[in-house]
């Protein structure tokens, strides 16, 4: 493999990367990238290897550069040893499914704040660099959501900037914010460790990264009563021929980023510590903004083409947030990532338009799950 260089033309030395929660959606794509294009070693820590099993095994040319440790980081003394032996730690571990924020708020808070504390501590004490995955949810609601209707169309009231935008959350009884508040506290702890004890860090704030291997399909590779995030939720409805449920009419707007574009950004952070250390990066695609209702309509058109079924056989259904998520749900209406800092520091910009992103993702979902769904649907109900 040819010697790789960073953005300043300096050679990139091979490093050992401890990826906590690296067996999931983002970790699997990052591991693929590391194995295919770098000399870095991936030390993957997770409770499941299902999404990276295709990378494991002696038959691969990179077999000596990836290892999997089946581990729950809550109470495992091996974690510090693995962090100590690595050059860089990437923390991807999280409960990050909106349906869990209401029904499992304690687990959500522990997973996203309490469980992150030892990771941060070990990195600080052993002088190891940390790339921590936060979320765009830490911004909470936008200023625009509190303004009169006349102002609501102006993007400047919804543009979220890492170094300027306030973090606004709903009241405590709205447990939907348990995730965002836990993540924000972790961000603040990391920044405090940097300020007081010299921790070298980068914080990543993803904006709806989507693509193959994202989330789960209920009753196939996840719990029957599970509620995944919006794209997998709609995929599940499409695969089953059910109406796509629009929470509160699907008025909320979101931007969507292809995971392969996102991983390019993460690799730049890994390879350019001088440009990435001490930075918080929004990583999203402001050009791929749609309402949830528009997303549903687009997915119906794309899936009809992929599956060879008439679009008229697929539909949407309005449901209330309380009916869908239970009491205590709340939402922000719009989040647009300001890309100034990541463009300035790393020269990164997203590439993939929404139609291509949805086509790739739904092709994967159909190929992977359609037969399994048919089997589930053909079983007689008790």
Where does residue 368 rank: exposed (0-12), middle (13-18), buried (19+ CB within 10 A)? middle
The residue behind tokens 């997203």 is 350
Please state the separation of Cα 381 from the chain's center in Å.
Answer: 35
| SS3 state of residue 250 | helix
Catalytic residues, by residue number, are 179
Burial class, 150, CB count within 10 angstroms (exposed 0-12 / middle 13-18 / buried 19+)? exposed
- Cα(31)–Cα(371) distance, rounded to whole angstroms? 28
Residue 170's CB is within 10 A of a number of other CB atoms, namely 17
Q: 161 Cβ partners below 8 Å, 6+ apart?
A: 282, 338, 340
**Token pair in block for residue 326:** 């239970």
Instruction: Label residue 309 exposed, middle or buried (CB < 10 Å: 0-12, 13-18, 19+).
Output: middle
For residue 89, CA distances in Å to 101, 200, 298, 371 come to 26, 11, 38, 38
Q: CA quadruple 173, 174, 178, 181: dihedral positive or negative?
A: negative
- Cβ distance 249 to 318 under 8 Å? yes
Q: How far apart are CA 30 and CA 24, in angstroms?
A: 10
- Identify the residue whose tokens are 């770098």: 38
């Amino acid at each position: 493999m040819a010697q790789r260089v960073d953005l300043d033309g300096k050679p990139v030395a091979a490093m050992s990367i401890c990826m906590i929660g690296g067996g999931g959606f983002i970790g699997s794509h990052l591991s693929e990238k590391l194995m295919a294009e770098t000399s870095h070693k991936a030390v993957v820590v997770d409770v499941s290897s299902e999404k990276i099993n295709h990378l494991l095994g002696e038959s691969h040319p990179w077999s000596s550069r990836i290892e999997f440790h089946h581990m729950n980081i809550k109470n495992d003394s091996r974690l510090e040893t693995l962090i100590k032996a690595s050059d860089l730690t990437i923390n991807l571990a999280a409960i990050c499914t909106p349906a869990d924020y209401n029904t499992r708020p304690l687990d959500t808070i522990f997973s996203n704040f309490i469980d992150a504390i030892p990771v941060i501590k070990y990195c600080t004490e052993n002088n190891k660099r940390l790339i921590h995955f936060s979320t765009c949810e830490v911004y909470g609601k936008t200023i625009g959501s509190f303004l009169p209707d006349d102002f609501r169309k102006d993007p400047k009231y919804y543009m979220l900037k890492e170094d300027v935008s306030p973090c606004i959350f709903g009241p405590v009884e709205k447990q939907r914010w348990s995730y965002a508040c836990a993540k924000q506290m972790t961000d603040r702890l990391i920044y405090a460790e940097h300020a007081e004890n010299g921790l070298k860090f980068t914080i990543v704030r993803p904006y709806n990264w989507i693509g193959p291997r994202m989330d789960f399909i209920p009753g196939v590779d996840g719990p029957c009563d599970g509620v995944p995030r919006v794209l997998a939720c709609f995929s599940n409805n499409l695969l089953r021929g059910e109406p796509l449920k629009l929470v509160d009419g699907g008025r909320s707007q979101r931007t969507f980023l292809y995971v392969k574009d996102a991983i390019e950004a993460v690799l730049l952070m890994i390879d350019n510590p001088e440009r990435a250390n001490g930075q918080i990066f929004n990583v999203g695609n402001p050009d791929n903004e749609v309402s949830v209702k528009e997303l549903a309509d687009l997915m119906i058109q794309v899936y009809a083409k992929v599956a060879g079924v008439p679009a008229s056989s697929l539909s949407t259904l309005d449901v209330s947030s309380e009916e869908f998520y239970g009491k205590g749900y709340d939402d922000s209406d719009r989040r647009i990532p300001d890309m100034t800092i990541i463009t300035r520091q790393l020269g990164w910009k997203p590439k993939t338009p929404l139609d291509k992103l949805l086509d790739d993702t739904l092709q994967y979902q159909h190929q992977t799950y359609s037969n399994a769904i048919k089997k589930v649907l053909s079983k007689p109900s008790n």
